[in-house]
Amino acid sequence: MSRVALVTNDDGIDSRGLHALARTAIDAGLQVIVAAPWSEASGSSAAITGADADGRVRMERREIEGLDGATVFAVQAAPAMIALLAAHGAFGATPDVVLSGINRGANIGHVVLHSGTVGAALTAGASGTSGLAVSLDVGHDPDAHHWETAAAVVAPLIGPLLESPAGTVLNVNVPNRAALDGVEPRSARLAEFGVVQTTAAVPGEGEVRLTVADLSGEFDPESDAVLLQAGHATLTALSGVGEAALPSACATVSSSR
């Protein structure tokens, strides 16, 4: 029996990036379930929102051209909620892997915490299913979106991910180019920040206004931000929520009982 892939995103069911990723999973021989938000859910992180007051999550079957053989659902929920529902068999067979993307815009640095695309992959990992988030660095006003370039980077990663320990989560970022000199992604560390850095939160009358700026200065040359800017696809393994050692100052007031 073929392995099952859930394909989701945070840009919504109509995203061409989602469709390109689903075709990649189909071409890899996987049984594909596409379940993606009814509308855009960017910045939703790992939120499990979407249920009505009575606990129901609304969804409907869809047909998407070029995805023959895939089961497709539009779901009124955040992508992490969709990944959680899939882990409990809401869309049919429980997935062996969750593929999230292809996101419109890079997801790099420690601020991947806020990404709905990454949130779906991390939620899969927390459920014991391996996940992969993939994003295309399109910038602010691209002339074209080279989804197939990102798909070509992801394709050779699917098999190794399926053979990796349960709960493995990968984050991939790809330059928005028609072709790369080599599609093999570079191993990268998370940058301290993301594409831009929040510089201030200015309070006003009945509002708070955030200001952001492009990053500048010296940065880790092996970070995803620097490598992506240099034209490399990047690959980073992510860890979800887990225990850490207590700081010594806090350990003195805790009990091991």
CB 210 within 8 A of CB 119: no
pLDDT confidence of residue 214: 54
Which parts of 46-96 are beta strand (E)? 59-62, 71-75
Using DSSP, how many helices (H) and how many strands (E) does the chain show? 6, 11
Whose structure tokens read 């931000």?
225
Axis-axis angle for helices 16-27, 147-162 (nearest 10) = 40
Give the Cβ contact number of residue 131 at 10 Å.
30
195 close to 252: Cβ distance less than 8 angstroms: no
The answer on pLDDT for 172 being more than 60 is yes
Class at the top of the CATH hierarchy for domain 4-191+219-251: alpha beta
Report pLDDT for 181.
74
Q: Write down the residue that tokens 């420690």 correspond to.
A: 110
pTM of the model: 0.90
pLDDT in tens, 193-208: 755 444 455 566 666 6
pLDDT (mean) for 128-132: 97
* Residues 174/134, Cβ–Cβ less than 8 Å: yes
Q: For position 240, what pLDDT does the model report? A: 83
Which pLDDT belongs to residue 199? 46
Among residues 186, 183, 220, 196, which one has the least CA distance to residue 139?
A: 196
